[in-house]
């Protein structure tokens, strides 16, 4: 995929909020709130029930009490466009405008809840450090969430200066490209600027969110894109390439070359949240193969006429990809089943069917041994 295809036409720069993504479509969404005297603005930071909102009059502090329901998916988050009161102490956000995209993961709690990380994002930049061995499974997990959000993923391989051999760097890029079909993969060095020009062109076409583990170089990359040291940077451990959370909140910043950037804290846990279509997008080659299997409900385990298993035998499909696909599909089913009684029943029936098949196979073996 060409990087130029990721860029969108820039909106009019006449409006004070244009650097933050304001366009005619957002103006139409906000129109019903104008008679109430409310102001449009974009949330650039949220913490403890309050948020910073950039408006045509500057940045204001506002309380989110009016739009903080029990549903964690409907709370105000960084990237939201909101209708905020023109004055008051405290000043309140009255509502947020319908989201175009939303990046969601499952919470780390035992409750079946999703956590929204950022809203109205055009590009999801998955930062992966080349200072440590590539974790392709984690990249696939991030990409599944990114595709599900509605944003266009981009994988940025940071600290490319640590791989001076061009051939080795090329092989690493190829490995990630195989893992990320349809996703641009860009090696970048914030130290010497290699690859940054192309990335700047990508992020100038809308709002981008930076995702990745602690130590992936997100804050350093953000500073390089911003052209100044806005985000604090901490050294990573040499042993495993991990670092502490440099960024502790999600901050939205306007970029000097156009576009806006949301930097996020390092994500240790990246649980799926109803991301079936996102998983399918990441493993599109497996789903294409599955469509050619003899049985429409093929589990790709031992069924005759399985196109997926044939691709593995022929060396066309790495077995690691199928294992990762199965893992993410099972995880996503468990998450969805917590809130979907029908799916829970289907999974239970499937378990019983496979159990019966296993029992029948064992009995057949005993019969042959007798």
262 vs 105, more confident: 262
Q: Which two tokens stand for residue 220?
A: 């350093």
pLDDT averaged over every residue in the chain: 82
Give the model's pLDDT for residue 161. Answer: 93
pLDDT (mean) for 137-164: 92
276 vs 229, more confident: 276
191 vs 109, more confident: 191
pLDDT tens string 43-69: 999 988 899 999 999 999 999 988 876
Neighbouring C-alpha atoms within 13 Å toward the C-beta of 313: 9
Sign (positive or negative) of CA dihedral 103, 10, 58, 256: positive
Residue 166, pLDDT above cutoff 90 = yes
Contact 300, 324 (CB under 8 A): no
Give the model's pLDDT for residue 7. Answer: 47
Give the model's pLDDT for residue 63. Answer: 93
Rounded distance, CA 65 to CA 333, Å?
A: 33
267 in helix, strand or coil?
coil
> For residue 169, what pLDDT band results from cuts at 50, 70 and 90?
very high
Give the model's pLDDT for residue 184. Answer: 95
- Whether the ω angle into residue 90 lies within 30 degrees of 0, i.e. cis, is yes
328 in helix, strand or coil?
helix
Alpha-carbon distance values, 134 to 192, 214, 232, 240, 244 (Å): 22, 14, 25, 12, 19
> For residue 332, what pLDDT band results from cuts at 50, 70 and 90?
confident
Residue 345, pLDDT above cutoff 60 = no
Q: Which of 97, 105, 88 is CA-nearest to residue 144? A: 105
Rounded distance, CA 234 to CA 215, Å?
A: 8
Q: Alpha helix locations (H) across 227-340?
A: 276-282, 284-290, 307-313, 319-337
pLDDT tens string 205-225: 899 999 888 788 888 899 999
Give the model's pLDDT for residue 17. Answer: 95
Rounded distance, CA 265 to CA 245, Å?
A: 6
Rounded distance, CA 88 to CA 161, Å?
A: 51
Rounded distance, CA 269 to CA 203, Å?
A: 25
Rounded distance, CA 203 to CA 257, Å?
A: 9
% of the chain residues with pLDDT over 70: 76
pLDDT (mean) for 274-290: 88
Residue 347, pLDDT above cutoff 70 = no
Give the model's pLDDT for residue 235. Answer: 46
pLDDT tens string 98-126: 999 988 877 654 455 677 889 999 999 99
pLDDT (mean) for 286-306: 91
> For residue 140, what pLDDT band results from cuts at 50, 70 and 90?
very high
pLDDT tens string 237-259: 444 444 444 445 679 999 998 99
Q: Across the strands, what pairs with 39?
A: 84
Alpha-carbon distance values, 96 to 34, 42, 76, 351 (Å): 13, 9, 7, 43
Give the model's pLDDT for residue 267. Answer: 57
148 vs 275, more confident: 148
Alpha-carbon distance values, 202 to 152, 216, 365 (Å): 11, 19, 59
Residue 88, pLDDT above cutoff 90 = no
């Amino acid at each position: 995929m060409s990087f130029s295809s990721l860029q969108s036409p820039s909106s009019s720069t006449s409006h004070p909020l244009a650097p933050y993504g304001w366009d005619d479509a957002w103006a139409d969404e906000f129109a019903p709130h104008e008679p109430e005297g409310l102001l449009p603005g974009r949330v650039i930071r949220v913490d403890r029930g309050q948020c910073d909102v950039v408006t045509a009059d500057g940045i204001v502090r506002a309380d989110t009490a009016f739009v903080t329901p029990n549903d964690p998916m409907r709370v105000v988050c960084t990237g939201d466009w909101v209708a905020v009161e023109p004055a008051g102490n405290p000043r309140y956000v009255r509502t947020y405008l319908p989201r175009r995209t939303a990046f969601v993961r499952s919470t780390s709690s035992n409750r079946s809840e999703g956590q929204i990380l950022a809203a109205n994002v055009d590009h999801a930049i998955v930062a992966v450090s080349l200072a440590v061995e590539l974790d392709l499974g984690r990249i696939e997990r991030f990409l599944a969430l990114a595709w599900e959000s509605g944003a266009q993923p981009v994988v940025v391989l940071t600290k490319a200066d640590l791989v001076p051999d061009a051939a080795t760097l090329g092989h690493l890029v190829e490995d990630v490209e195989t893992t990320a079909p349809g996703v641009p993969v860009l090696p970048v060095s914030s130290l010497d600027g290699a690859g940054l020009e192309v990335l700047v062109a990508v992020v100038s076409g809308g709002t981008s969110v930076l995702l990745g583990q602690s130590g992936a170089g997100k804050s350093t990359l953000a500073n390089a894109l911003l052209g100044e040291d806005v985000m604090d940077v901490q050294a990573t451990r040499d042993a495993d390439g991990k670092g502490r959370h440099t960024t502790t909140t999600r901050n939205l910043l306007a970029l000097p070359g156009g576009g806006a950037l949301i930097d996020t804290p390092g994500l240790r846990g990246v649980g799926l949240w109803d991301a079936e279509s996102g998983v399918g997008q990441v493993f599109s080659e497996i789903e294409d193969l599955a469509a050619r299997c003899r049985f429409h409900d093929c589990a790709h385990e031992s069924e005759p006429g399985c196109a997926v298993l044939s691709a593995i035998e022929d060396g066309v499909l790495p077995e690691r990809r199928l294992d990762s696909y199965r893992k993410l599909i099972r995880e996503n089913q468990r998450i969805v089943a917590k809130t979907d009684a029908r799916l829970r029943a289907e999974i239970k029936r499937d378990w019983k069917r496979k159990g019966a098949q296993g029992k029948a196979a064992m009995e057949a073996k005993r019969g042959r041994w007798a």
